[in-house]
Every structure is written in structure tokens, then in C-alpha cells.
Amino acid sequence: GAGVSQSPSNKVTEKGKDVELRCDPISGHTALYWYRQRLGQGLEFLIYFQGNSAPDKSGLPSDRFSAERTGESVSTLTIQRTQQEDSAVYLCASSSWDSGNTIYFGEGSWLTVV
Amino acid sequence: AQTVTQSQPEMSVQEAETVTLSCTYDTSESNYYLFWYKQPPSRQMILVIRQEAYKQQNATENRFSVNFQKAAKSFSLKISDSQLGDTAMYFCASRGGYQKVTFGTGTKLQVIP
């Protein structure tokens, strides 16, 4: 696709439910990132995929959070047993050496846990 | 390991004036890239300007330019002729080799009419 696509754009869920957030990176981009951004805050790194290398999961805040990526395409971020503090925008980004390492962001998935 | 530091949490500037946002970084990579991103209230992250470390010439994009001081590991952003639409959060970022990109904590810029 032309840009990084994320779905859903908005998600309201009840505390304790599981949610899945999807990211379609730009075609051919080998690197993919997930970030969390709470209201008025900076970017909180969650996970980084680079090609076929083992992902860098050092930013995942708890074992309730996990992410998968199929080859160099779609990624899914899963949050289990959601808590109110999980409410945030979840941003996905992708990049490649061919694009001069520029990181392109999606519009984000707004998650509200009630 | 990489670090990016933005020491100005908030700044303001009068419309049509010039403002400079500071950023310092540290990296062990010899080949790396530096970026400034803008995040307006819409939350969409937009690339403002990009600098390749091996290029000595400072990058410019219309009203936006950088002052890249490699030895000092400094990468400041200058916005000339500030406009109301420049009001946003600005993030400095660094990426070297195949390491993940590292972002600073951001500077909130308010352009005052």
C-alpha cells in the first residue's frame, strides 16, 4: 500500500477483554515498530521487528502484551486482559534502507478501556 | 546503544519569528541517520527533516533547517517564519545500522499569533 495502515482506528473495550490491533506496513519495508502513546506523553517503544531477525521485545510492559509479524508484512499487537492503564494510542511504523531509513507512521489505533 | 535527549519540554514563539529546538544524541554506530518529526494535535507523525551523518552539509526543507554538529552530537531544528500550523509536538530521533530507531521525549511548540 501507499502508506502504513492500522486498524481499527478506534476501539472501546471492557476491562478484562482481549484486543488485537493490526498494522499493514509499507510494502517492502523490513523494519516494523509498535509504540504506545498516552495522552500528552511521548512515544513509548513496545517492540521492533527487523527482517527475519528475532524481534526486540524489550519495550513490552507486561506479559499481557504480545506481537507477531508474518514475514515482512502484517503485524498484530495483542493485549490480553486489558486494564484501564492500557488506554492510549498505539502507533505502528515501518522503514527500510531503501527509504533512507525514514520511519513512516500509521495514523494509530485509539484504544479506550472502560 | 543509542540515546536521544530533548531538554526543552515546552517552547513558544511569536508568529513569523524564528525558533530553535535542541536535541543531543549518542550512538556507537559510525553510519546513522537523524530525524525530526512533527506531531500536530491530529496525532499523525510527520517527517520534517532528515540528516545522514556522513553528510556534512546541514539539511534544509523550506522553512526548516538543522544545525548538525557531529563532534558535539548535537542536532537542533530551526524553524523560520513560524506559522500557526507549526504548533505541534516535535520529536528528535536517531537510527544507526540495524538498531531500532530511538526517539527523544519531545518538545511541545506553541506558535502565538
- CA–CA distance, B31 with A106 (Å, rounded to integer): 26
Look at A108 and A52; give whichever has higher pLDDT. A108
Search chain A and give the residue with CA nearest B48: A102
CATH of domain B3-108: 2.60.40.10
Q: Which fold has domain A5-113?
A: Immunoglobulin-like (2.60.40)
Low-confidence ranges of chain B (pLDDT < 70): none
pLDDT given for residue A40 in this prediction = 85
Residue keyed to cell 509479524 = A69
A100: helix, coil or strand?
A: coil
A108: chain B residues, CB-CB within 8 Å: 43-44
pLDDT tens, A50-77?
988 899 999 999 999 999 998 888 999 9
Quote the DSSP letter at residue A52. Answer: T
Residue of A nearest to B49 (CA): A102
Q: What percent of chain B has pLDDT over 70?
A: 100
Is B100 within 8 Å of A102 when comparing Cβ atoms? no
pLDDT of residue A51: 86
How far apart, in Å, are the Cα atoms of A46 and each of A6, A25, A74, B105?
16, 16, 16, 15
Q: Hey, is A25 helix, strand or coil?
A: coil
CB pairs under 8 A between A and B: 52
Does position A1 have pLDDT exceeding 60, yes or no? Answer: no
